[in-house]
Structure 1
Amino acid sequence: MKKILYTAVLLLTAFTAPAQVISNGIIKYEKRTSLKLQMKNTFSDKPDMLRYIDQVPNTVSSYFTLYFTPRQSLYKFEEHEKLQGMASYFTGSSPANENVVHRNLRHDTITAKKKFYDAEFILKEVPKAHQWKIEEEIREIAGYPCRKAVTTMFDSVVVVAFYTESILPCSGPESISGLPGMILGVAIPRLYTTWFATEVQLKEPPPEVFAYNFKGKVTGSEDMEAMVKKSTKGWGGSWSVYSTWWMKL
């Protein structure tokens, strides 16, 4: 009964009461990966990798910041959870785990920096359009009522997002977008990873944060994907497929 009442209050607050629309701010995200489960399923046919499972924690976290204005947003890696030994190695060397993504909201273009081990890619492209199915479920994230939406990426990867109409710039973590509001939560079960906002700061970002230097040669996403597949050929398990998904996210 309490759960029903709480949901009703969220719905009433989000969709019937007048609300202040936020267009400038800073959002802190925690990215959490179920590392032990990811390794178990990704390296199912690689006994030499599976022997490290007992040396890693169940989950590991990384932290990102999203700066946004009505014109643009910048999603930027901050730090990894402090870990030791093999846990630190697997977290630090995972593909695309320190991404920086700038989004021009006026022209709907993105510029991104992504790392694949020692290789670094600079991408400039129009974000791919996804067919989102907006559902009735509402949950509160970082103090904001968020509606659930579901889509499929890369033909078969289900992505669950939670967005709020209280923050108008249509942006979110990584390159994920296309919803009528800011995305404060994402879950991708096949990547064993979630992104959830932990804090929303209602202040205008300093202009210099958007002057991020994307230094390097611009690479097309198809060339990047081909390089990742070539580099991981013969690794066994599902790591080649997972690596490609991470880099395209």
Structure 2
Amino acid sequence: MKLLGIKLKILAAACLFSGVIKAQDFQGKAYYATKSKLDLGTWGATMSEAQKKQVQERLKNRLEKIYILTFNKEASIYEEDEKLDAISGATDSWGKNFAPGKQYKNIKTNTLKQNQEFYGKQFLVTDNLQDINWTLTTDTKKVGQYTCMKAVALVPTSDLYWYDFSWDRLRDNQAQNNSETADSLQTKSIKMSQIEAWYTPQIPVSHGPGAFTGLPGLILEVSADNTTILCSKIVMNPEDKTNIEAPRKGTEVSKKDYQEIVIKKMAEMRNMYSGRRGR
């Protein structure tokens, strides 16, 4: 009964706000701060706390970023606020190869179009939106001035971070091409990411930062693996409107195709480096 009451509150808020959406050229901007913890793995086990802190500070501009989500009723653009990097003079050319690019999402057409640059080549990754089977809970809390509700989900980690690269993925890919280990891979467990999201029915649009969409309200906070995304500011109906249009530049590929391109290139680089070291 309590969950039913929560759902009725969501519906009431959506009905109240829908009139505002239809009555004007509706648009909003949400500003998100992202923070990631650096997983140093076995390498970190040999480091002192001072060394770990030094590495963390050196990679701060990769681990802490600001993104802007510009949205209307059906579509959104999610992109990094690169002005901050320009002001600070921070550069991370290596990290940009594995960071999410400018992202267009359309809820109505279930479409994702995302710009990705990989070693100087431009790609336009075109696919469906990430399929997330959310479970709504009755938990509530305030994020800024907005009352939010909690939702949780489990998503395959490789689906969530398809633009990134890991040596484990390269090893699995090579093993898949080996007939002797193909059977063992079929029984290998898939790594899953636990997602906790907080959304507000006060802004009843199904948008959110990054891959996170599909809830009955704008997502203001997300925790997934080592990353937390928190909305710090929302501007409703800004005076300067943004054209929310799908990008067109770049070689069009699917998420799966893009992953294969990255894995192939990284394998080539590893083999080239190993060959030089063996001389």
Residue 106 (structure 1) aligns with: 108
CA drift of 1:201 comes to 0.6
Letter in 2 for 1:97: A
Residue 67 (structure 2) aligns with: 64
Q: Which moved more, 1:200-209 or 1:90-99?
A: 90-99
1:14-33 counterparts in 2 under 5 A? 15=9, 19=13, 21=17, 23=21, 24-33=27-36
Per-residue CA deviation, residues 89-121 of structure 1 (Å, 9 max, x unaligned), is 669615543521112232221211133454442
Letter in 2 for 1:141: V
Cα–Cα, structure 1 residues 76 and 148, in superposed 2: closer, same or farther, change >3 Å? same
| Distance in 1, Cα, partners of 2:123 & 2:45 | 30
Aligned to 2:80, what secondary structure does the other structure show? strand
Q: Is the 8 A contact 2:122 2:251 kept in 1?
A: no
Residue 223 (structure 1) aligns with: 257
1:8-87 counterparts in 2 under 5 A? 15=9, 19=13, 21=17, 23=21, 24-34=27-37, 37-38=38-39, 40-41=40-41, 43-44=43-44, 54-57=54-57, 60-79=63-82
| Distance in 2, Cα, partners of 1:215 & 1:148 | 37
Give 1:184's match in structure 2, choosing from 217, 220, 229. 220
**RMSD of the TM alignment (CA)?**
3.6
| Distance in 1, Cα, partners of 2:208 & 2:243 | 17
CA drift of 1:66 comes to 0.9
Aligned to 1:210, what secondary structure does the other structure show? coil
| Distance in 2, Cα, partners of 1:160 & 1:148 | 7
CA drift of 1:216 comes to 1.0
TM-score after normalising by structure 1:
0.70
Cα–Cα, structure 1 residues 217 and 96, in superposed 2: closer, same or farther, change >3 Å? same
Aligned to 1:180, what secondary structure does the other structure show? coil
Cα–Cα, structure 1 residues 116 and 184, in superposed 2: closer, same or farther, change >3 Å? farther
Letter in 2 for 1:32: K
CA drift of 1:220 comes to 1.4
CA drift of 1:234 comes to 9.1
Letter in 2 for 1:216: G
Letter in 1 for 2:228: T
Q: Is the 8 A contact 1:99 1:174 kept in 2?
A: no
| Distance in 2, Cα, partners of 1:185 & 1:205 | 25
Residue 125 (structure 2) aligns with: 123
Residue 164 (structure 2) aligns with: none
Structure with the higher helix share, 1 or 2? 2
Q: For structure 2, list consecutive stretches of 5 or more residues without a partner in the other structure.
A: 22-26, 157-189, 271-279
Per-residue CA deviation, residues 21-75 of structure 1 (Å, 9 max, x unaligned), is 26431111111122xx33x23855898xxx6762432954211111111132111
Residue 135 (structure 2) aligns with: 133
Asked whether 1:144 is paired with 2:146, we answer yes
The number of residues matched between the two structures is 215
TM-score after normalising by structure 2:
0.64
Taking every aligned residue pair, what percent have the same amino acid on both sides?
Answer: 19
Q: Which moved more, 1:192-201 or 1:110-119?
A: 110-119
| Distance in 2, Cα, partners of 1:224 & 1:92 | 17
CA drift of 1:227 comes to 1.9
Residue 244 (structure 1) aligns with: none
